């Protein structure tokens, strides 16, 4: 690149690669930031510019950009600093045919992101250890007749599995990967029974009945079962906190036509003086869990009578 380019005035490090994957330009900010290597970068392969994990992340990003033609986010650490990389395609010269070049912009990674990544790594190890211990307990108590004890251990193990899933998703988010959007399926009956089991003791202590009305079988629906279950548990606890002792909350499931299932949380009473304005905010986590795969959430509230929150999930293949 001859002459002065607008890229010369960018404060963030920037480099450009040709369709053959070789660096053809770095801006002055790159030269300042990576002073020890900037003089030797032009003409080298983009995948070898950085060291260690940064090299692997850059190679993967460049390969994905060339394959998909879309912008890719990735993270690297070099010389003790963290960077968020944005790799984007550029049109190659006409003589290069349909091949793409790549431009990479490097932004300073916020220190909090680096700290979160470190915390996530620290969380992962005790999660795995605790899960292994509970799995051993399940094996050791498999022959016992104390079903309550075994059920408690199994619920603890299931909770750790959910925590491990969110730890993995946190890792993906910190690496700049998009949220998981692939099709997922769930068994509505299993989700409802597991949600009820997680709050049964709390309902009993609060003096509020929890009625579970669900048939033995329901069609498989589209959705993330763990997220739906966790959102239902959160909503059940909120409804329990607002219900009068001696009243009941109902958790129900049924088919809705031939293309959906309906999961509902219904309470017939609330403590006096409850703030009606909070009702619309309660199902937010349920909406976030249901809507990515076509689900819909509705809440109907009747003053002095109660309210019902229903999540409609499409059936698989509908």
Q: What is the pLDDT of residues 162-211, one digit of tens each?
A: 777 777 666 666 655 544 544 478 899 999 998 898 888 889 989 999 99
pLDDT value for 209: 93
Q: Find the helix or strand (DSSP H, E) in which 306 lies.
A: strand 306-314
pLDDT at 155 over 50: yes
Q: How confident is the model at residue 276 (pLDDT cuts 50, 70, 90)?
A: very low
pLDDT value for 305: 62
pLDDT value for 177: 52
Distances (CA, A) of 118 to 58, 110, 310: 21, 13, 39
pLDDT value for 292: 76
- The answer to whether 163 and 230 are in contact (CB under 8 A) is no
Mean pLDDT of the region 27-44: 77
- The answer to whether 194 and 225 are in contact (CB under 8 A) is no
pLDDT at 311 over 50: yes
State which residues form the domain around 197: 185-314
pLDDT value for 280: 47
Q: Poorest-confidence range of 4-13, 55-64, 203-212, 254-263?
A: 4-13
Residues 105 and 119 in one domain: no
Single residue among 109, 136, 166 that ends a domain in this structure: 109
Mean pLDDT of the region 236-258: 90
pLDDT at 134 over 80: no
pLDDT at 102 over 70: yes
Single residue among 109, 137, 155 that ends a domain in this structure: 109
Mean pLDDT of the region 17-46: 80
> Domain for residue 180, yes or no?
no
| 3-class secondary structure, 154 | helix
Total domains present in the chain:
3
Residues 123 and 88 in one domain: no
Residues 45 and 17 in one domain: yes
The more confidently predicted of residues 170 and 233 is: 233
pLDDT value for 272: 46
Single residue among 86, 109, 132 that ends a domain in this structure: 109
pLDDT value for 253: 94
Residues 291 and 304 in one domain: yes
pLDDT at 110 over 80: no
Mean pLDDT of the region 221-238: 86
The more confidently predicted of residues 288 and 25 is: 25
Distances (CA, A) of 259 to 181, 212, 256, 287: 21, 23, 7, 19
For the chain, what percent of residues have pLDDT higher than 70? 67
Q: Which residue has the tokens 């993270």?
A: 75
pLDDT at 85 over 50: yes
Q: Cβ of 204: how many Cβ atoms within 10 Å? A: 11
pLDDT value for 154: 66
> Domain for residue 1, yes or no?
no
pLDDT at 142 over 60: no
Mean pLDDT score of the chain, rounded to an integer?
Answer: 76
């Amino acid at each position: 690149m001859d002459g002065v380019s607008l890229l010369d005035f960018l404060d963030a490090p920037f480099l450009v690669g040709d369709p053959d994957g070789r660096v053809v330009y770095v801006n002055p900010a790159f030269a300042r930031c990576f002073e020890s290597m900037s003089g030797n970068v032009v003409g080298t392969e983009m995948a070898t510019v950085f060291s260690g994990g940064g090299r692997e992340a850059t190679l993967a990003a460049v390969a994905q950009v060339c394959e998909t033609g879309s912008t890719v986010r990735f993270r690297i650490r070099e010389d003790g600093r963290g960077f968020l990389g944005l790799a984007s395609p550029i049109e190659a010269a006409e003589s290069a045919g349909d091949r793409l070049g790549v431009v990479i912009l490097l932004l300073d990674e916020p220190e909090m992101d680096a700290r979160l990544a470190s915390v996530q790594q620290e969380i992962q190890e005790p999660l795995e250890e605790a899960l292994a211990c509970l799995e051993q307990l399940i094996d050791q108590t498999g022959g016992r007749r104390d079903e309550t004890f075994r059920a408690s251990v199994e619920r603890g193990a299931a909770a750790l599995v959910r925590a491990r899933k969110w730890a993995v998703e946190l890792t993906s988010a910190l690496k700049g990967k998009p949220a998981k959007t692939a099709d997922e399926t769930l068994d509505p009956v299993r989700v409802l029974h597991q949600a009820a089991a997680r709050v049964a003791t709390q309902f009993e202590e609060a003096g509020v009945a929890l009625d579970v009305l669900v048939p033995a079988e329901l069609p498989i629906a589209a959705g993330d079962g763990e997220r739906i279950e966790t959102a239902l548990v959160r909503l059940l606890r909120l409804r329990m906190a607002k219900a009068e002792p001696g009243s009941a909350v109902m958790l129900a499931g049924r088919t809705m036509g031939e293309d959906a299932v309906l999961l509902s949380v219904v309470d017939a009473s609330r403590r006096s003086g409850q703030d009606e304005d909070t009702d619309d905010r309660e199902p937010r986590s349920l909406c976030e869990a249901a809507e990515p795969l076509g689900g819909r959430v509705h809440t109907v509230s009747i003053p002095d009578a109660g309210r019902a929150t229903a999540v409609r999930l499409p059936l698989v293949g509908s």
